[in-house]
Amino acid sequence: MQREWPNIDSAWLMVRKGFSFAARVASWLVVLNCLGSTVYAQIASTDLPGPLIPFSNRKAAEIVLKGRDQLRVLVEKDLILDGLNFPRVCAWVSPEEYKQLEVEGWSISWLPPEAEPAPIGIPKGSLAFPLEAYPTYDQIGALLEEYALNYSSLCRVESIGSSAEGRNLWVIRITDHPEIEEDEPECKLISTIHGNETLGTVVMLDLVHELLTEYENDLRIRHLVDETEIWILPLMNPDGYSHTPRTRFNYNGYDLNRNFPDRVEDPANTTAGRQPETSAVMEFTRDHSFVLSANFHTGSQVVNYPYDSSAYWNTWKHPDWYTPDQDVFVQNSLAYSTHNPLLYSSGQFPQGISNGLEWYQINGGMQDWNYVWNRCMEVTIELSNLFSPPASQLVSHWEANRESLLSYLEQSRIGIRGIIRNSQNGKPIPASVEVSGREGLVHTDPQVGDYHRLLLPGTYTLQIQAQGFYPLTVHGVAVQSGTASRVDVDLDPAYSGWLIY
């Protein structure tokens, strides 16, 4: 998208600059008493100055289409479209864009702001799980910190970077032996890349709570945590989430889910020129070997899988709309949707799933980037038609998603897995694995040498390569349903004696 500078009165801007110099970040300790535990929150002062750039002046409008062809015209205008329920499509437009569309004769009207949902903030003393209120950014940090202290044998908490306005992007890593890398598939769940789509943040925190507190009681959860490395980033756009009113955009006015490299429009896989939240997630992804991922939104009810972007977007169901792993994406998406009645039975999408381009085209989305450049199988999960359902509905949303989340994470264990080592010294090596007929490499985790390639039952050929080693082809690998087949490989150094990893 083009960066747009909203009209700001210059005198007002000067005042804000004055405030920003005078601003001080204070912190204090907040104690929340809950369920017999105490949460200590390091809270940043709420008297931080407002943003110099007020996020974005785009608001949600509804355009009623006369035919699907008109959607193509809107896509070509590079508008930020956000959900299609034909013939109505939601578009985030500035007043100028709105006026222009009106002049051009589009049937457009501003969408009324969503009925004010429960305010953000868990009242003191009322923290309970599943969550019954939306936590503040500071309460989220405090909760994660509390888990890191109380469940140190099962999790680690870190910040993968800062938002444009300086808030932390907290992630929690949940697995047995969180202090070391193990031969386990790595999965990540990211919510609320759009700051006004708050439900996913609550569902992520409920999941964190469930995985940690039920580890001792629930064999299924214990197995999942023992055999998988689960990373959860509950709030990717803390600035938009914390702003009043909440906003889709980040502090600099960008839609972060249009800000990633794009296989058609923006194919340079670099963080240069991207927003800090985007860069942080790109670097975090690069530093790990994620095989399965999901990002959580609201505004619709569907599991949407790649591709979202294609050079052939105007040719209905062009083969380029589908990845070589279409079969796996469909199964993974169904693993989520079939257990969630809101998604499965919404009536808008068969079985609650859709290919991205069959719905509507976007460029610069996170899920395509994950697949195209990392072979990480990411889907976009839209949890509710309301952006921020009332607090009274939060518990039932958790209940509608619990089984789906567990089933989805369990998909990380299908297909083929193994460890690739140097035949001379038995050490793990950085290597890549490609499945014949499915262009694209999965990489080993260089510390352990493990790879995980999600596949459905069938017989496959693997091509294994590593710099400085003879490549190897492994034919006839049979995959059954359920747990992955194991193919460990020792590669011979290409120049034995002096070029050994």
Nearer to Zn ion (CB atom), residue 143 or residue 342:
342
Strand ranges, E, within 220-279: 229-233
Beta carbons of 381 and 354 less than 8 angstroms apart? no
Between residues 197 and 410, which has the closer beta carbon with respect to Zn ion? 197
Alpha helices in 77-135, H assignment, sequence order: 95-103
371 CB-near residues (< 8 Å, 6+ apart): 306, 307, 323, 325, 377, 378, 440
Q: Is 258 or 297 the residue whose CB approaches Zn ion more closely? A: 297
Task: Give me the 349-378 binding string for Zn ion, x by CB under 5 A, dash otherwise.
Answer: ------------------------------
- CA angle, residues 245, 249, 250, in degrees to nearest 5: 100
Q: Which amino acid is at 264?
A: V
C-beta of 144 vs 193, nearer to Zn ion: 193
CB of 257 to Zn ion, least distance (A): 6
Task: Give 255 or 450: the residue with its C-beta nearer to Zn ion.
Answer: 255
Per CB under 5 A, which region of 91-99, 139-147, 266-274, 289-297 contacts Zn ion? 289-297
89, containing H or E segment = strand 88-93
CB of 146 to Zn ion, least distance (A): 28
Binder of Zn ion out of 194, 246, 263, 274 (CB under 5 A): 194
Two structure tokens written together for 185: 């598939």
Torsion angle of the four alpha carbons 28, 201, 378, 349, in this order, in degrees rounded to the nearest 10 = -160
What track of x and - describes contact with Zn ion for positions 196 through 215 (by CB under 5 A)?
-x------------------
Nearest to 400 by CA among 385, 415, 413, 379: 385
String of contacts with Zn ion for each residue 235-274, x by CB under 5 A = ----------------------------------------
Closest approach of Zn ion to the CB of residue 309, in Å: 16
Q: Which is nearer to Zn ion, 194 or 417 (CB)?
A: 194
Host H or E run for residue 141: helix 137-150
- Nearest distance, CB of residue 372 and Zn ion, angstroms: 20
Q: CB under 5 A: which stretch of 226-234, 274-282, 297-305, 328-336 binds Zn ion?
A: 297-305
CB 34 to Zn ion: min, Å: 30
Cβ(163)–Cβ(277) under 8 Å? yes
Q: Which residue, 263 or 297, is less far from Zn ion as judged by CB? A: 297
Positive or negative torsion for Cα 323, 284, 160, 126 = positive
Binding-site size, Zn ion (CB under 5 A): 3
Q: For residue 121, which phi and psi values (nearest 5 degrees)?
A: 130, 125
**Which of 232, 349, 328 is CA-nearest to residue 281?**
232
85 forms beta bridges with: 88
CB 491 within 8 A of CB 421: yes
Residue nearest to Zn ion (CB): 297
Single out the segment in contact with Zn ion by CB under 5 A; choices: 126-134, 291-299, 341-349, 432-440.
291-299
Task: With beta carbons less than 8 A apart as the criterion, state whether 232 and 174 touch.
Answer: yes
CB of 382 to Zn ion, least distance (A): 7
For the bound state, the minimum distance from the C-beta of residue 451 to Zn ion, rounded and expressed in Å, comes to 31
Does 297 sit near Zn ion (CB under 5 A)?
yes
Catalytic residue chosen out of the listed positions 165, 197, 382, 434: 382
Contact status, residue 42 vs residue 149, Cβ threshold 8 Å:
no
Footprint on residues 117-136 left by Zn ion (CB under 5 A):
none
Q: Which stretch binds Zn ion (CB under 5 A): 160-168, 187-195, 440-448, 489-497?
A: 187-195
How big is the chain, counted in residues? Answer: 501
Q: Which stretch binds Zn ion (CB under 5 A): 116-124, 149-157, 193-201, 207-215?
A: 193-201
Point out which span in 14-22, 171-179, 195-203, 279-287 binds Zn ion (CB under 5 A).
195-203
Nearer to Zn ion, 135 or 299 (CB): 299
DSSP secondary structure, 378-433, as one string:
EEEEEEESSSS--GGGHHHHHHHHHHHHHHHHHGGG-SEEEEEEETTT--B---EE
Q: Across-strand partners of 495?
A: none
Shortest Å, Cβ 478 to Zn ion: 40
403 is catalytic: no
Is 435:462 a contact under the CB 8 Å cutoff? yes
Instruction: Enumerate binding residues for Zn ion (CB under 5 A).
Output: 194, 197, 297
The catalytic residues are 382
